[in-house]
Amino acid sequence: MELETERGADRRAELLAAAARVIARRGYAGTRFQDVAEEAGVAVGTLQHHFGTRSRMLSEALEQWLDESDAQLAILRGGEGDAWERLQGILTYVGTRIGERNPAWNMWLDFTGAALKDRELRRSAGRSQQRWEAAFADTIAEGTAAGVFHPVTSAREVASVLSALLDGIGLQIFATDSDMSGAEATERLVATAQALLRPDSA
């Protein structure tokens, strides 16, 4: 029974990954059960069995991607170096992925747009925003307590600015056909963090 449960969970994860790929290409509004079924090589009925509704499938696809992002964020936060070095690692990771036009970021921006008219998606988007801001804020607070940072305002406010800047750069790149590179995106993020945090080692 346990093995069957694990297989079911693995299958569900595979279907959600297929949904995420389709959303990245077609957008939230343009993704249908049929599109995901073709991507995953399954029948539409299989998707309906696992998720019930299209809205739930798309919402869970976002949640799975957010969980994967959270796991990567946890690895970067727990890396070597002081708080400034680790924060730069997080910003470099994200800036590079945005600059490389990673499809997952296109999916995130599309979801945030769709969330304007969908309460369930707003809850998911809000939870993700809170997790990222908390990760930034915790790292900043740690660095401040250790004397690494001398922030111009509270850790929470700096975290909010950095989170908003991430979304803003992503929107600029994906929505306006900007030619900004990953290196340039990272440079903007790190420069902003440096100006707000005034780290000793910068």
> 43-84, pLDDT tens digit by residue?
999 999 999 988 889 888 888 877 877 787 777 777 788 999
Residue in the structure block whose two tokens are 């993700």:
128
Contact between 190 and 91 under an 8 Å Cβ cutoff? The reply is yes
Alpha-carbon distance values, 197 to 117, 130, 171 (Å): 36, 20, 25
Reading the block at residue 194, the tokens are: 């440096």
Predicted TM-score (pTM) of the model is: 0.76
> 93-146, pLDDT tens digit by residue?
889 988 888 777 777 777 777 778 778 778 777 777 888 888 899 999 999 999
Reading the block at residue 145, the tokens are: 């307590």
